[in-house]
Structure 1
Amino acid sequence: MNKIKWAFTIAASLSLLGCEKYPEPAVDTGEKINLQAIYSVTQSDIDNIAQNLEVNYRVVTNIPTDKCDSKIADGACFEVELSFTAKKAIAAKDWTIHFSQISPIQSFESEDFTVKHLNGDLHVIALQDKFSGFSAAETKKITFRAMFWSLSETDALPNYIVSAPGLDARVIESTVPYIDKDTGLEILPYVEPFTDEKTQFKRTASDKTQWLTSEKLYQRNSVLVEDKLAVIQAIIPTPKSVTLDANDGFADISKGIAISLGNVKHHDVDAAISRLDTLGVKQNSVGLPLHLSIVSNNDKVIGSYSLTVTEKEISIVGVDGNGVFNGLQSLASLVTVGESRLPMIVVDDEPHFTFRGMLVDVARNFHSKEFILKLLDQMAAYKLNKLHLHLGDDEGWRLEIPSLPELTNIGAKRCFDVAEENCLISQLGAGVDENSSVSGYYSVSDYHEILQAATARHIQVIPSLDMPGHSRASIKAMTARYKKFMALEDEAKAKQFLLEDFEDNTQYSSVQFYSDNTINACLESSYDFVIEVMTQVKKIHADAGQPLTRYHIGADETAGAWLESPACKAFVANNDQGVTEMGELGAYFIERVAGILSDLDIETAGWSDGMEHTRVDNMPAIVQANAWDTLAWGGHEKVHRLANRDWQVVISSPDVLYFDFPHEADPKEHGYYWASRHTNTEKVFQFMPDNLPVHAEFWLDREDNAYVADDTKAALAPGKKFLGIQGQLWSENVRTDDMVEHKVFPRLLALAERAWHLADWAVPYNYQGAKYSQQSNSFSDKSKAMRDSQWALFANTLGQKEFTKLELAQIDYRLPTVGAIIQAGKLHANIAFPGLAIEYRVNGGNWLTYQNPTAVSGEVSIRSRSTNGLRTSRITKIK
């Protein structure tokens, strides 16, 4: 690198570091700049600050004040007091602290510090001129206001970084998260617990959300009673038709099962047979005969089967290999671990939806191959058949593309490299270590293993490398490639896959507050990149034996990019593609990428907000649209419009299907909440995906207020149906595999129930259109009673049968907090999933197992424990 370029790179880096005082380099002086001659801070000082600065993060209020910017986010903002206490004296100056804060900071007050938003969630705290250092035990504070709300203690992001130019950055130790040994949950030690419901827990004066106390939970759980017999006979997801033995008879499997494959191929059923073995049902030549067979039936959908269990044998007949596999999983569902009998039963079953999916975001924070393999096992166990693997986003690119090594050499790592020449900058609290678990990618061989495991379980993997928005990782990787080949004086190769116009001065901010995350739609090199990547991904799939037949573009949230791009101005002025204004470029990009996919014989999928702007005539005949529009905000209207285009709509409603949202309304519950403050397993079970507007009769909006769904203007055309439903796990603040499992399970089982089984209590869609509210009565009291009764059985089945199976698969599902009250001096406790153990502690003493109402006196704490005894839930106190 020549000296002028080096000097300007340093200047740009220092700007990102927040060092505005650093002088701009003018011309090449012939000498390298000595940073230590300008900055007095030493590496020893940085190390000392990292070890001895105690950080405390306290949400003061979510109620907007006159210091909030009324022009931004409708004036919504929250206030935080961020304090720093030095355990030892700190005399050094000229250092900064970088930290992640999801919502951009608007304003601040401090005598010692300044704070500035840089990009995405990254902010920098710098020292004011009058900063005089810390004496031992001294505390200095900064109060800031940021956009929107902070309603959860887990909103704060960890790993604050102290740095100075020319020195190694360090993570401030007091901000490093740790894992609680009992619960397995990540703890942010520097975040002060919420105490005030009015100012911290509520976001507006109209917010009716109730903090879920143990007393309120006790009342909610009180309708559940333990029902052991019904659980033994239960299958999840519920079959279409079940006939039980009239005498409640049982088949003996104490000697195992003797499997006869018939005309079934080993590879179609091996994974299901292996699961039976894990549950304790072994193969044995003298065991109960199990006959498998395939009998084609054009009147049945793919995956249909029948299962018969008698005293003398078990029979499973599928319409295809997938159907036999599903029948084996229903047999596994009948198994109670530790029991040597099965209920005698006849099942005739078929799926309600063709598409039964789960999305996992491994781009924001990486999640291991081992986790994905475990997830595939559980998806197959409950008959989900589509894994939407979100592999590329702003914060990471997670799939090896052999011809473009920069995508993973740079785009798969986050560290403290402000020039982003070796990794992406440390977004989302990633820290300084590029080898941390939040970084990483799947090699070609890793991805082959995932695909092969999915194929063995009859699951289609639908990859997604988001574009044109949410593409910062790929943009920065290809810019690094450009610099590499320019240094080698190979301009053609440098520009071959370039994704940004260096002369574009457009000022924009994406939904995640990036100013540089959108692929330029007007560069031919952008489409060359798409062709190269998709050709490579198609080959990887083919080599693994699962052809790539559908790809998810992403296609969402382009946020007004390109307006000042010379390349785009020229394109709009001179193109022959029917694009007449800048606002049409996003749709043009999607249309063109869809055409590229069609040329590669790959079907197009994308998110509804980007796909809806395309011209239908320019799109392929088959298009999948994931509808993620919030129901409480009239989201059904867009869903219906897309379905009326004859597109394949996959319901992905955030109100109920975003599993990164909190399970319950409690500030200690993990997750974002922009569409729902509490999405527990019961709410997922209640979902009627065929009739979206009807939920206005019994669900509430994100502030727990009633809403109206008017379906008279955008009703589905007669006979239109949805392709299926999909659960989503976005991972902006989900940093560990265990936390992903905590978020996904047991909600995934309720997702499977709604994807596979059409409930008899579900309200059929009204193709004439209707208006729904809590005053309409389409969902009758009789239907509600039927739903709640079936939920009680479902909850019992999880607590008494399925959780044990999850534990055998080493799945750290969320253990529910316990409902409890104290009446007449006695503790009364209950739980959302009967069968799980409840423990209590009085005045900080030993934990005791709760059996029946018990006399207590003093401070009482409660928790639940997993069936294997290895984990507990969060501890709550009875107030």
Structure 2
Amino acid sequence: MVDVIPAPANCTWNSPGYASLDAETALEAGPGTEGVARWLRATLGAATGLPFPETGDAHNRIVLGIDPDLPPEGYRVVNDGGPYRIRGGDAAGVFWGAQTFRQLLGPDAFRRAPVRPERDWDVPMVTVEDAPRFRWRGLMLDVARHFTPKEGVLRHLDLMAAHKLNVFHFHLTDDQGWRIEIKRYPRLTEVGSWRARTKFGHRASPLWEEKPHGGFYTQDDIREIVAYAAERHITVVPEIDVPGHSQAAITAYPELGNTDVIDTTSLTVWDSWGISANVLAPTDNTLRFYEGVFEELLGLFPSEFIHVGGDECLKDQWRRSPTAQARIKELGLADEDELQSWFIGHFDKWLSARGRRLIGWDEILEGGLAEGAAVSSWRGYGGGVAAARAGHDVVMCPEQYVYLDHRQHAGADEPVPIGYVRTLEDVYRFEPVPRELTEEEARHVLGTQANVWTEVMEDHARVDYQTFPRLAAFAEVAWSALPAPGERDFADFERRMAGHYERLDALGVAYRPPAGPLPWQRRPGVLGRPIDGTPPNR
């Protein structure tokens, strides 16, 4: 059996042995696959040093094509002695097939230049057939707490593509930074994109990094990121957080805050972690301001879904604000939870009128779920179950299972240990569809997503360490069909991971080694956030 990750549905040997690519191997793109051919020629060409001309011998060529009999995103890779054939139900399927073909060539195919120029590039004589279990196979990257420069984002997209993940949830704003240029509101980046210093470790840590931290993406950067993702059949879903997690925006434009409760002009972009009490005021001025933000956002992101956050909105200021209380009375609402529901509902209608769909964290259920909204269920399964039963679409991302900022081991050497212990096997055994849902309700589970919050990840090496190898396990959960209800073969996955670590090495990924952190991956003396106990069994 070939060691492909995520595990394919079917893999059969056509005959013993291998065929080899060489300098004469052509690459032929059928209609609709031209973009995949460009990616494959550039990627494999760089790694192998082979030219992959467009025409050549009838048998010594790679043929890309769309087969309408295959399902969306499904593919078939065939090496039977004739031309190598990569077919998909659509262009995305052809691309995922090309990713599998790359894996079949071995870990050196993941490098950017040939390391053994005289080597043979052998392809096993197999047929691989596959299709994804879920349409939403996501990774969320938080760039607000610690900024990831554009080149780092493009690298993450490549790593996602290598694992057949297709939704990049781009967490662009929070209390600690605003990361996207909005031309009509320049202070969002002039003021809101940087902070004077940064807490090092958990918020209980006494340590500080006493230097400014910041950065943002220009609108052209965003266009480049979206286009780069689209070439890899990845959809970018932006998140602009409202009405909580908004201190950076209020610092830039103090009138957005609850000015009748606090002096918002004295605020700074937050330099610590946790949940800020400074939330948006529920005023018409705030609504118009964020309509302007979202209007520019829609011009940059063609995604069906726009994420509005909606989580961890502390309501103490609203309880003390005469303006907020007057709005509750004016709208005939019961309490502050319903006020947040009204706020989210406004943008649900606003986005729907423009052909988009709102998605938010499961707190948007509080006070009544906005019509048409989808839910990212992060506080466990409960929010997703409630939303699906109410007929709303759900992305399952419970923190107890797929928050990759959480520690990977209970050992003392884990760097800045946060949250639950979630090992590679724990992630691999995660089941996205709650068992209490009926078959009809389960259809509302669009898929699943792993989340990477970066409070304690100061650079890309720390992000790599927390994310990998667990993202490989998650990718298999999101892509591969269950062999039987509740069953996954972790021993087989570990066997295949032995080869996959070599691919990650070739890609330059600073993953957590199976034996534990390397000396330079540790953070001795930096406090984390222990959590006792484990989530309920599913």
- TM-score norm. by structure 2 comes to 0.85
Are 1:809 and 2:514 an aligned pair? Answer: no
Secondary structure of the corresponding residue to residue 256 of structure 2: coil
Q: Contact 1:279/1:805 (CA < 8 Å) preserved in 2?
A: no
* Alignment match, 2:266: none
Q: Specify which of 369, 372, 394 is matched with residue 150 of structure 2.
A: 369
Cα distance in 2 for residues equivalent to 1:367 and 1:646 = 36
Match among 280, 285, 289 for residue 519 of structure 1: 280
Query: Deviation at 1:254?
Result: 4.3
Q: CA deviation at 1:553?
A: 0.6
> Whole-Å Cα distance in 2 between the matches of residues 444 and 679 of structure 1?
37
Instruction: Kindly indicate whether residue 293 of structure 2 is the aligned counterpart of residue 293 of structure 1.
Output: no
Please give the alpha-carbon distance, in whole angstroms, between the structure 1 residues aligned to 2:338 and 2:247.
Answer: 21
Within-5 A mapping of 1:558-707 = 558-561=313-316, 562-575=318-331, 578-608=332-362, 610-616=363-369, 618-620=370-372, 623-630=373-380, 636-674=381-419, 676=420, 678-690=421-433, 692=434
**Alignment correspondent of 1:849:** none
Counterpart of 2:491 in structure 1 is: 792
Q: 2: distance between equivalents of 1:462 and 1:658?
A: 18
Partner of 2:9: 240
**Residue of structure 2 in register with 1:443 after alignment:** 218
Q: d(CA) in 2 for partners of 1:304 and 1:806?
A: 24
Mapping of residues 814-825 of structure 1, within 5 Å: 814-817=512-515
**Matched residue SS, 1:501:** coil
Does the residue aligned with 2:35 lie in a helix, a strand or coil?
helix
Match of 1:733 among 435, 438, 456: 456
- Alignment pair present for 1:464 and 2:239: yes
Residue 762 (structure 1) aligns with: 485
Contact 1:428 1:733 in 2 (8 A): no
* Letter paired with 1:280: T
Structure 1 residue 342: deviation in Å?
A: 1.3
CA offsets per residue over residues 131-189 of structure 1, 9 Å max, x none?
xxxxxxxxxxxxxxxxxxxxxxxxxxxxxxxxxxxxxxxxxxxxxxxxxxxxxxxxxxx
From the CA coordinates, give the structure whose radius of gyration is larger: 1
Q: Distance in 2 between matches of 1:411 and 1:332?
A: 42
Q: State the distance in 1 between where 2:16 and 2:252 align.
A: 63
Q: CA deviation at 1:465?
A: 1.4
Any residues of structure 2 matched to 1:114-153 within 5 Å, and which?
none
Aligned mate of 1:720, from 442, 447, 453? 442
Letter in 2 for 1:275: T
Which of 296, 304, 328 is residue 536 of structure 1 equivalent to?
A: 296
* Contact 1:259–1:283, Cα closer than 8 Å, also in 2: no
Deviation at residue 412 of structure 1 after TM alignment: 0.7
**Residue 579 of structure 1: how far off its partner (Å):** 1.7
Q: 1:268 to 1:310 in 2, by over 3 A?
A: same
Q: 1:746 to 1:395 in 2, by over 3 A?
A: same
Summarize the Cα distance change of 1:742–1:512 in structure 2 as closer, same or farther, 3 Å threshold.
closer
Distance, in Å, in 1 between the alignment partners of 2:514 and 2:235 is: 32
For residue 302 of structure 1, what is the aligned residue in structure 2? 72
Match of 1:390 among 153, 165, 171: 171
2:267 equivalent in structure 1: none
Distance 1:747 1:574 in 2: 49
| Residue 462 of structure 1, CA deviation | 0.4
What SS does structure 1 have at the residue aligned with 2:379?
coil
Q: SS at the partner of 2:501?
A: helix
Q: Which amino acid in structure 2 is aligned with residue 656 of structure 1?
A: Y
Task: Evaluate the alpha carbon distance shift between residue 583 and residue 323 of structure 1 in structure 2; reply closer, same or farther with a 3 A threshold.
Answer: closer
Contact 1:555 1:607 (8 Å CA) reproduced: yes
Provide closer, same or farther for how the CA distance between residues 803 and 414 of structure 1 changes in structure 2, counting only shifts above 3 A: same
Alignment partners' CA distance in 2, 1:256 and 1:670: 49
CA contact (8 A) 2:144 2:176 kept: yes
Aligned to 1:478: 253
1:719, distance to aligned residue in structure 2 (A): 5.2
1:240 deviation in Å?
Answer: 1.8
| CA distance in 2 between partners of 1:804 and 1:668 (Å) | 24
Structure 1 counterpart of 2:281, one-letter code = N
Contact 1:397 1:407 in 2 (8 A): yes
| Aligned residue among 457, 467, 473 for 1:750 | 473
Percent identical pairs in the alignment equals 28
Q: 1:258 aligns with which of 21, 26, 36?
A: 26
Judging changes above 3 Å, is the alpha-carbon distance between structure 1 residues 605 and 346 closer, same or farther for their aligned structure 2 residues? same
Structure 1 residues not aligned, in runs of 5+: 1-229, 418-426, 480-497, 542-546, 631-635, 694-710, 764-782, 819-862, 865-870
Could you tell me how far apart the structure 1 residues matched to 2:247 and 2:76 are?
Answer: 49
Report SS of the residue matched to 2:233.
Answer: coil
* Structure 2 CA distance for partners of 1:282 and 1:528, relative to 1, 3 Å: same
- 1:267 aligns to 2:21 (yes or no): no
Distance 1:759 1:872 in 2: 37
CA deviation string 1:269-295 (max 9, x = no partner) = 422443323442733346831111113
Taking the TM superposition and a 5 Å limit, the aligned residue runs for 1:844-863 are none
Mapped partners of 1:535, 1:657: distance in 2: 32
The 5 A counterparts of 1:2-13 are none
CA contact (8 A) 1:817 1:874 kept: no
Task: Using structure 1 for the length normalisation, give the TM-score.
Answer: 0.53
Aligned-partner SS, 1:235: coil
SS at match of 1:341: strand
C-alpha offsets along residues 650-708 of structure 1, whole Å, 9 cap, x if unaligned? 1101122111011111122135533x1x2222222222223x46xxxxxxxxxxxxxxx
Query: Which one has more relative contact order, counting CA pairs under 8 Å at least 6 apart?
Result: 2
Opposite residue 195 of structure 2, the aligned amino acid is R
Structure 2, gaps ≥5 residues long: 109-119, 199-204, 264-271, 525-538
| Partner Cα separation in structure 2 for residue 815 and residue 324 of structure 1 | 32
Q: CA deviation at 1:306?
A: 1.3
Equivalence for 2:180: 399
> Cα deviations across residues 842-874 of structure 1 (Å, max 9, x unaligned)?
xxxxxxxxxxxxxxxxxxxxx87xxxxxx9876
- Separation of aligned partners in 2, 1:526 and 1:875: 41
Q: Is the Cα contact below 8 Å between 1:643 and 1:716 reproduced in 2? A: no
How far residue 409 of structure 1 moved from its aligned partner, in angstroms, is 0.9
Cα displacement string for residues 507-550 of structure 1 (whole angstroms, at most 9, x for unaligned residues): xxxx96555421112x1111011100001111233xxxxx2431
Match of 2:89 in 1: 319
Partner-residue secondary structure (3-state), 2:172: strand
Alpha-carbon spacing, 1:440–1:505, altered in 2? closer, same or farther (3 Å): closer
Structure 1 residues 429 and 579: CA distance shift in structure 2, 3 A: farther
Aligned partner letter, 1:612: L
- Alpha carbons 2:379, 2:399 under 8 Å: kept: yes
Q: Deviations over 1:386-409 (max 9, x none)?
A: 000100011111111111111111
Who is 1:833 aligned against? none
* Secondary structure class of the residue paired with 1:249: strand
Change in 2 beyond 3 A, CA 1:449/1:429: farther
Aligned residue pairs: how many?
Answer: 493
Match for 2:371: what amino acid? M
Contact map agreement 1:304 1:318 (CA 8 A) in 2? yes
Quote the Cα distance in structure 2 between the aligned partners of 1:284 and 1:794.
33
